[in-house]
Amino acid sequence: MHVFYTPDITSDTYSLNEEESRHCMKVLRLVIGDIVHLIDGQGGLYEAEIIAESKRNVTLRVLKTTREYQKRNHGLHIAVAPTKNIDRLEWFLEKATEIGIDTITPLICERSERKIVKEERLNKVITSAVKQSLQAYHPVLNEAVSFKELISRETATYKMIAHCVDGEPRGFISQVSQPGQSYLILIGPEGDFTPNEIQLALQNDFKPLTLGNTRLRTETAALAACFEVNYLNR
């Protein structure tokens, strides 16, 4: 099944951009009459037929439209500290998109080793994963934001902060939330959140969260949280 990301589709005919057209013709070697699928990132899944080709454009005719394709009954926002090795963050974005996530925010913390991210590159990773896994909803990647700014502005039914401070009471996602709601989960940098950050989060109604008995890498912890929320809402 060949899938193309078409966020600006508005009618029954659509022309792929130059990059996607080149991929369609030169890499996939598709021809007039072949059937492909389109996703708009807003829940629309389209079955379409190639009806024309030129040097730079492939034109499609929509044959069938499905709205709210595989829409989930919950919302998931993970704010995660960018990893020093950007490949690890890209890995998380790819896998979380495949599993199911709505929003990702790079979170700049006191102990963050990386404070600058290139959203354009990260969005390409997300788009590629959307196409590969046939996700009709494209996750939103926010600009990087400071810890203090995020916790003071974001709202969700359940707000949680995952940390590894021994002796502090923490619960599993299933213990501090219910299915079918909106979730915001904070995942800290490789050195964990500072005590001040944890205290500030708790003062802003975040619940302390554990993701198990072992110390996880940042990207692993973020993916574990993503999986647990989706499992809770299966």
What CATH architecture is 3-66?
Beta Barrel (2.40)
Q: Provide the token pair at 213.
A: 């008995």
| Beta-bridge mates of residue 160 | 185, 207
The percentage of the chain sitting over the pLDDT mark of 70, rounded to a whole number, equals 100
Domain 75-233: which CATH number of 3.40.1280.10, 1.10.1740.10, 3.90.1150.10, 3.40.50.2300 = 3.40.1280.10
Whole-number pLDDT of residue 115:
87
Domain layout of the chain by residue ranges: 3-66, 75-233
Q: What is the mean pLDDT of the chain?
A: 94
pLDDT tens for each residue of 83-124: 999 999 999 999 999 999 999 999 999 999 898 899 999 999
pLDDT tens for each residue of 173-214: 999 999 999 999 999 999 999 999 999 999 999 999 999 888
Distance between CA atoms of residues 65 and 74, nearest Å: 23
pLDDT tens for each residue of 53-76: 988 899 999 999 999 999 999 999
**β-bridge pairing 103-108 and 58-66:** unpaired
pTM here is 0.92
